[in-house]
Amino acid sequence: MTEIIYLNGNLTPRSEAKLSPFDHGFLYGYGLFETMRAYNGYIFRLDCHLARLRRSAESLGLAHKVVEFDLETACQETLKANELKEARLRLTITAGEGDMTPDPSTCSSLTILVTAKDLIPLPHQKYEQGFKAVLSSLRRDSQSPLSRLKSTCYVNNILAKMGAKAAGCDEAILLNERGYLAEGSTSNIFLMSKGELITPSLESGVLPGITREAVLEIAQASDIKTVEREIELKELTEAEEAFITNSVVEIMPLTWFDGKPIGSGMAGQLTKKLMAAYKELVNEAIGDLRK
């Protein structure tokens, strides 16, 4: 089947899509994106993803242009046009075509792009074994507004991920400039210690992840004490359990870090409980969308 994308208000075959070489997203990384997951033809927490993108657009001075587009319909139509049920979607917005100088005032209109791909989830065995992670030499700048935006300026994340792969690991963990735990290259991180579920605060320089938010909601509804604060690196190595989150992998146990096991070196009981609860949350949300 021909892959269909949404570009600036139109659904078009991928082979016919064209972007300007003077697009500021390409020239300067001046843009935002959201990665979403669809289950049985329904996009989970699409409203939350779009709300985050619109907040981020305000930070980049693009909010007044974003409101001109029906982003929800764009995402849903792209999924439908590709006849996908289980899918990974990406919504990208950039400042659009402008002058070759770094002056966004020369950009007349945004570029809006939506793509969708079939998603084959990781096998159950991987969730039992969990991810292995390595400490990245790169740092997240907690003082930079970009730390809280899902920006197309993504080179640090890519370099961290490359480092993890070179080390034979699944994920890289980044500290912030003050040496506190921040996040993974493509994920938020949680750890369980002394009866508390702990995750780095947003002030630590982390992205306010959609799955992160869902996990906090689940934990609080289950009377699990949750704490958002600065976390020292040794707390991760000494944790009873740990896991990472993002929209595609959902909740993935983090079982090894820098060559040493976290806890038992396998998925912990609390992590498994939250994984099951997250599945229930997805099923409930999808069921409500069908009504």
Whether the pLDDT of residue 291 is over 70: the answer is no
Residue pointed to by tokens 């009873």:
240
At residue 1 the predicted structure's pLDDT band, cuts being 50, 70 and 90, is confident
pLDDT at position 254: 98
Q: Rounded to whole angstroms, how far apart are CA atoms 229 and 251?
A: 20
- Give CA–CA dist 122/119, Å, rounded: 9
pLDDT per residue as tens digits for the range 219-270: 999 999 999 999 999 999 999 999 999 999 999 999 999 999 999 999 999 9
Closest CA to 177 of 138, 231, 209, 230: 138
Tokens of 230: 């600065």
Per residue in 72-124, pLDDT (tens digit) is: 999 999 999 999 999 999 999 999 999 999 999 999 899 999 999 999 999 99
The chain-wide mean pLDDT, for the chain, equals 96
Q: What element of type H or E holds 253?
A: strand 250-257
Nearest alpha carbon to residue 199 among 35, 260, 218, 44: 218
Cα–Cα distance, 105 to 92 (Å, whole number)? 19
Residues forming beta bridges with residue 12, ordered by sequence position: 5
Q: Where are the alpha helices (DSSP H) in the chain?
A: 24-28, 46-59, 63-66, 71-81, 124-129, 155-166, 210-221, 233-237, 269-290
Q: In Å, how far from its chain's centre is CA 80?
A: 22
Sign of the torsion formed by the C-alpha atoms of 95, 98, 99 and 105? negative
pLDDT surpasses 90 at 3: yes
Report residue 226 CA to chain centroid gap.
Answer: 21
Residue 290, pLDDT > 70, answer no
How many residues does this entry show for the chain? 291
Per the CB < 8 A criterion, the answer to whether 103 and 121 are in contact is no
- Any idea what the Cα angle at residue 207 is, between residues 221 and 111, rounded to 5°? 120
